[in-house]
Amino acid sequence: MEHGPLTDRVALVAGATRGAGRAIAVELARAGAFVYATGRSSRASGRSEIDRPETIEGTAEAMYAAGGTGRAVVVDHEDPDAVQALVREIEQDHGRLDVLVNDIFGGDRYAQWDRPLWEHDLAGGLRMLRMGVDTHLITSHHALPLMLRTARDTGVRALVVEMTDGTAQFNSSFREGVGFY
């Protein structure tokens, strides 16, 4: 796409392998942003622990099919060094980062229903927190300094989008009985 509302903008969609993250990456690319779409599931390195068939390369293909540009990158957002390297690459290649979408999770397999905290699998619950909280904090920690420099240098406000699983109203019926984690 030559001229869209986000032409000359750079976005990072962390957790873009499937679902909302993939759709957001595609739409940002369609709107003209150069999108770094990241995820753990890859044709080259294999599926993530949730073992779904979607891959980050599939997201890149969908972005290109929508007329957009970007790059699919295999990144484990629990690894601070990997995220730091990604942000350095973005800065070296584009000198800016305008949009960060944190849509990382993959912990549904650890959700336990209709039981009190002391009956939950502690290791699984802690793993779910690492996947759903730590990943967002690590990514924001490394991306925000570049986003602030971008805003300062260009006069264009940066945007951080934090994704979750839905409104309290929706989740009260969809996730009724979900445990502590």
Helix or strand or coil: residue 76?
Answer: coil
Q: What is the pLDDT of residues 124-174, one digit of tens each?
A: 999 988 988 999 999 999 999 999 999 999 999 999 999 876 666 766 776
Decide: 24 and 101 in contact? Cβ < 8 Å.
yes
> pLDDT tens-digit profile of 31-63?
999 999 999 887 787 677 677 778 899 999 999
Q: Left, alpha or beta for 12 (phi > 0: left; psi -120 to 50: alpha)?
A: beta
Residue the block writes with tokens 């989740």: 171
- Give all domains of the chain, ordered by start, each with its CATH number: 10-174 (3.40.50.720)
Nearest to 147 by CA among 91, 73, 93: 91
**Distance between CA atoms of residues 87 and 145, nearest Å:** 10
Q: How far apart are CA 150 and CA 128, in angstroms?
A: 33
